[in-house]
Amino acid sequence: MEQWIAWFAPVAAVIGFGVALYLANWVLKQDPGNERMQEISKATQEGALAFLVREYRVLIVFALVVALIIVVVPAMPWLTAVAFLSGALLSAGAGYFGMHIATRANSRTAQAATDGVHKALTVAFRSGLTMGLTVASFGLGGLSLWIIFLIINGDSPQPEVVNGFAMGASSIALFARVGGGIYTKAADVGADLVGKVEAGIPEDDPRNPAVIADNVGDNVGDVAGMGADLFESFVGSILAPVVLAVSLWGIAGAGFDSIDFMYGVTAPLLIAAIGIIMSIFGLFAVRAKEGGNLHGALNMGTYVAASLQVVAMGLLFWHWSTRVGSDPARLWFFAAVLAGLIAGIAIGKITEYFCSDHYSPVKKIAEASETGAATNIIAGLGTGMMSTALPILVVGAGIIVAFLAGDAAYDGGGIYGIGLAALGMLSITAITVGVDAYGPVADNAGGIAEMAHMGKDIRTITDSLDSVGNTTAAIAKGFAIGSAGLTALALFVAFRTSLVAGGVAIDMSLENPYVIVGLFVGGMLPFLFGALTMGAVGRAAFSMIGEVRRQFKEIPGIMEGTGKPDYAACVDISTKAALKEMVVPGAIAVAAPIVVGVIRVDMLAGLLAGALVTGFLLAVFMANAGGAWDNAKKYIEGGQHGGKGSEAHKAAVVGDTVGDPFKDTSGPSMNILIKLMTVVSLVFVPLFIAVHGG
């Protein structure tokens, strides 16, 4: 395969970002609404920007310290530090750009609702797809250039340097997810418990002092944080099969000049590049009719992109299998990619079943709310636990099918097949992120409609958009979590292979006590991480609730609408709490694998395996339980079980506040945690080899 074909990847990234700029410009040209709407939107913009600037100051210090450690550690290539910084910078840049547009699309979506649901959906979705295309384009563009220069065109391939790019992306993603999640959920919990339950005022009521902080949180957590999350997932899913291809064909196989090596390294880049182009085609399939199925309209865009992607990937692997010097059996790799894509869609459907108010799990939680908050919480916990069963079986089936297909394509290529399956899940990341990022825009639009007194009809439209957004966000988390399991497995094998190639033997037998200890410690880490992030939200929410109560008590005229709440005080509470509380969980994720690996590499192998299993299960459980609680509340607010203000509604609000940090802080951070620890282990393989005499 001619090496120049790999350049299609950065070209596709440029095209994707060009379309993102076009969509951003289109969104900004829409009517931002009246003066009151623009005032509210501007407050959200300023709060989000202020938080992001302060968060990035902390992350800059962290990134420079880690880069310095990489440079000074013996046997570590200094270029790894540069790759690390570039991954971190592009991840932060994607989050900033997406949030910049989202905070300006909220008032425009609310204003568009005056022209009907189709116009409002179009504005919100195009804003979301701006984020999606930026994430995919920045991730593929940066990673592909490193791969082209250091692996495809390099004198001797250096995957250990390219791994640094993924580590930078994962590090920023973890801090952005945790920091943004703490911010948004502290504000959300405080606003809901004091506003809805105690004061009895509607959601997003301008009398609620925490309402602006809540709107800001939607953007820093669910747009910037989510974007960084999917950025690192996308990068990791591309990198895993590339690194495995180097070991499979370059080192252990036919050599770096073979046709299989060139295709093995280039195919993941081309799959990701095709996914960007197909996501652009999916944009034109998203159309909503008045009174129509909004979820179906968004799904149509995903289905069109996925269908076109399947055809294009089939042609890619057919081309590989028919090349002179290759083998027709290579076509089996297409089955591995297809297995991953099908598994991703299946997990999305399972997530929809457990999180959408069209199905019985959410309806049963709503029904349980009639007897109080305790039964609501019990039902939600049970639903979340039950929701782990099918995704595990689907991922297990996907792993087996991908492994068998990979092994049929090339003897010993089973793990490469699993890496391709993970990429198959996220091959259309651009539109997946677009559908997810649409949700916070619709949510903010509803808040602006309420605060600007736009009327019940407009709020009905924005609420319908927001309800769909909760489900699409849960589905996107399902894709990210599913791919995390496959990607972490592939990276784990690359980690072990790299150690063995460096002369360090690793005994993974269950008779090895160090492996067992590693399994237990690794299995514990996601619970410790979850406890730290949940506790952080609880402490921040405690401060927020105290501040909101104080303002209701001490500022005269708030409830009558004649006094103005101090929104800035609540924004400051969330900001300080997020920046303070995100440091320890992030530091643990980076430090744990390095410390354990220096002690014993077999213990580190056990740690990574244990964290993968419990982290995956906790991520599914938390994301689905939180999504189900949220939509059970919205189902009741739609008029069921007494509607807004009823005892069932108050119980559902309590359940929703428990679920908030589940689904938006701790849960989605788990998939980043398990991949970050694996990538850190892979990056520091030269250190482990030096320490353990390889």
The single-letter DSSP state of residue 288 is -
DSSP 149: I
Q: Specify the DSSP element, H or E, that contains 685.
A: helix 685-691
Position 253 confidence tier, pLDDT thresholds 50, 70, 90: low
Evaluate whether residue 2 is within a structural domain: no
Write out the two tokens for 259: 């046709």
Residue-wise pLDDT for 576-590, tens only, equals: 888 888 888 888 888
The pLDDT assigned to 87 comes to 93
The encoded tokens of residue 441 equal 């825009």
618 pLDDT band, cuts 50/70/90, is very high
Q: Which two tokens stand for residue 629?
A: 């609680």
Q: How far is CA 415 from CA 145, 276, 290, 646, in A?
A: 24, 25, 48, 54
Return the number of other C-beta atoms located less than 10 Å from residue 178's C-beta. Answer: 31
Average pLDDT, rounded, for the chain: 86
Q: Report the half-sphere exposure of 530 (CA within 13 A, side-chain side).
A: 24
Which one, of 166, 182, 52, 63, lies nearest residue 530 by Cα?
182
Q: Which residue matches tokens 């003066």?
A: 35
Q: How far apart are CA 347 and CA 70, in angstroms?
A: 37
What is the extent of the structural domain holding 261? 7-691
Q: Work out the average pLDDT over 150-178.
A: 83
pLDDT tops 90 at residue 273: yes
Instruction: Provide the pLDDT confidence category of residue 207 given band limits of 50, 70 and 90.
Output: confident
Torsion of CA 575, 539, 450, 625, to 10 degrees: 120
Q: How confident is the model at residue 158 (pLDDT cuts 50, 70, 90)?
A: confident
* HSE-CB for 260 with a 13 A CA cutoff: 25
Overall average pLDDT of the 484-513 stretch: 84
For position 352, what pLDDT does the model report?
84
> Is residue 555 one of the residues assigned to a domain?
yes
pLDDT attached to residue 288: 67
Diameter over CA atoms, the chain: 81
637 token code pair: 């607010």
Mean pLDDT, residues 408-413: 88
Structure confidence at residue 369 as a pLDDT band (50, 70, 90): very high
* 507 φψ region: left (φ > 0), alpha (ψ -120 to 50), beta (else): beta
The three-state (H, E, C) secondary structure of 470-489, written as one string: HHHHHHHHHHHHHHHHHHHH
pLDDT at 530 over 80: yes
> What's the pLDDT score for residue 311?
93
How high is the pLDDT of residue 364? Answer: 95
Q: Structurally, how many domains does the chain consist of?
A: 1
pLDDT band at 427 (very low <50, low <70, confident <90, very high): confident
Tell me the CB-side half-sphere exposure of residue 392, using CA atoms within 13 A. 15
Mean pLDDT of 132-160: 87
Residue 203: band (very low, low, confident or very high) from pLDDT cuts 50, 70, 90: low
Least confident of 287-301, 481-495, 525-539, 642-656: 287-301
Residue 640 lies in a domain: yes
- 603 vs 320, more confident: 603
Structure tokens at 331: 């076509």
Distance between CA atoms of 200 and 198, rounded to whole angstroms?
A: 6
**pLDDT of 330 strictly over 80:** yes
- Selected residue with higher pLDDT from 386 and 259: 386
Helices (H), 556-684: 567-581, 583-599, 601-637, 647-661, 667-683
Asked whether residue 147 is domain-assigned, the answer is yes
The tokens describing 78, both together, are 């200094």
pTM above 0.85, yes or no: yes
pLDDT grade for 596, boundaries at 50, 70 and 90: very high
Give a yes or no: residue 601 inside a domain.
yes
Q: Once rounded to an integer, what is the mean pLDDT over residues 556-574? A: 80
The tally of CA atoms less than 13 A away on the side-chain side of residue 312 is: 22
Q: What is the pLDDT of residue 76?
A: 83
Residue 303 has pLDDT above 80, yes or no: yes
* 1 occurs within a structural domain: no
**586 neighbors 182 (Cβ within 8 angstroms):** no
Is residue 186, in this structure, part of any structural domain at all? yes
Taking the C-alpha atoms of residue 232 and residue 522, their distance in angstroms, rounded to an integer, is: 21
Whether residue 603 has pLDDT greater than 90: yes
Is the pLDDT at 235 greater than 70, yes or no?
yes
Query: What's the CA gap between 108 and 117, in Å, rounded?
Result: 13
Angle of CA points 43, 47, 48, to nearest 5° = 115
Cβ–Cβ < 8 Å for 450, 419: no
Q: Cα-flanking dihedrals φ and ψ of residue 490, to 5°?
A: -65, -40
- Listed range (75-89, 129-143, 599-613, 666-680) with the worst mean pLDDT: 666-680
- Whether residue 649 contacts residue 637, with contact meaning beta carbons closer than 8 Å, is answered with yes
Q: How far apart are CA 189 and CA 634, in angstroms?
A: 15
Least confident of 453-457, 475-479, 623-627: 475-479
Identify the top-confidence range among 44-53, 95-104, 181-190, 383-392: 383-392
Considering the domain boundaries, does residue 471 fall inside one?
yes
Structure tokens of 402? 């991908």
Answer whether residue 1 shows pLDDT above 60.
no
Residue 474 has pLDDT above 70, yes or no: no
Residue 302 pLDDT level (bands cut at 50, 70, 90)? confident
Question: Side-chain half-sphere of 425: how many Cα atoms within 13 Å?
Answer: 35
Please, which residues have CB within 8 angstroms of residue 194's CB and are 6 or more apart in sequence?
Answer: 208, 210, 545, 548, 549, 552
